Amino acid sequence: MIVEILKPEFVARISGVDAGAGPTDGEIAEIHAALDRYAVVVLRGQHLDDDRQLAFARRFGTVEATTSARRKRLGVPGLVDLANINDDGEIFERSDEPHLFSLANQLWHTDSSFKSTPARYSMLSCREATATGGETEFADLRAAYDALAPEVKATLDGLVTEHAFIHSRRVLGFEGNVPAVEAMQPVWRPIVHVHAGSERTSLYLASHASRILGWPVPEARLLLFELTEHAAQPQFVYRHTWQAGDFVLWDNRCTMHRGLRYPMDQRRDVRRVSTTDVDSRLMVNDAELAATR
């Protein structure tokens, strides 16, 4: 296995491993260590199918249950369909509801921050890439934290944010039907935590974050916008240009990501599996909530 650094302390490219062929425990341990240190790991030339992608993800923990009530194309529990392709295999129309709903993936976010147990790793497999656009950008929330002014760090100390799935859809003005499975109870998360993979301090931000405990909502939203804008500066961002066969792994605890716009007359088939953050440091208990209130 060869580890090349694409962005220092943030993105590593690993070659010489076949993710679909059932890597050895040693290979998995090396990929795991790279994920914990760098946060984004790029594998290329991986011709995965859904079962192999799932089997690979299971080597890193428990696979998250999927909640999509909108797409039936894949039919494999655990796989999240992020393609622009409908259940009949055709490219979505511009006004199709599952497509409009998925557009929120183009807002800076981290996966499943709104679930009672958030996601740890996400693993996105590209089966068909667009010729133009459709890149995915990743922002390093540890480097972004490090670069904050001391007074901003002091302001953030102890703050907790509310994360609600539906908030990211409301931001885009989505007005369609929201099935019960998506109407999840909001959860509270620290805005700063020590990332368990690297023991470095990190921001924790997402398009799902809507409020800060004890703050007026407009002030909270402004701070969340400001921090997101800060973290999205080029020095903290890696942009991945997809080719079919790419398999990109990332740590949701210390990154944000977003898809970029692409022409809708081109097929884009990307499929994700995420693992759950067992023993998460992103939990806020009732006593902490009561103390902040």
The site for ligand OGA (CB under 6 A) is made up of 82, 105, 111, 122, 124, 136, 257, 259, 270, 272
What is the number of alpha carbons within 13 Å of residue 30 lying toward its C-beta? 16
Asked if 251 touches Mn ion (CB under 5 A), the answer is: no
Q: How far is CA 117 from CA 53, 140, 235, 278, 285, in A?
A: 22, 21, 30, 7, 13
- Cα separation, 199 vs 127, whole angstroms: 34
Tell me whether residue 79 or residue 191 sits nearer to ligand OGA (CB atom).
79
191 binds, among Mn ion, ligand OGA, none (CB under 5 to 8 A by kind): none
Beta bridge partners of 38: none
- Cα separation, 178 vs 181, whole angstroms: 8
Tell me whether residue 27 or residue 111 sits nearer to Mn ion (CB atom).
111
Shortest CB 106 distance to ligand OGA, Å: 7
Q: Hunting for tokens 């400001």 — which residue is that?
A: 226
Tell me whether residue 80 or residue 160 sits nearer to ligand OGA (CB atom).
80
Restricting to residues 78-117, name those near Mn ion by CB under 5 A. 111
Residue 87 per-residue DSSP state? T
Tell me whether residue 27 or residue 81 sits nearer to ligand OGA (CB atom).
81
Shortest CB 286 distance to Mn ion, Å: 29
Residue pair 145/192 in contact by the 8 Å Cβ criterion: yes
Beta bridge partners of 163: 187, 209
35 binds, among ligand OGA, Mn ion, none (CB under 5 to 8 A by kind): none
259 binds, among ligand OGA, Mn ion, none (CB under 5 to 8 A by kind): ligand OGA
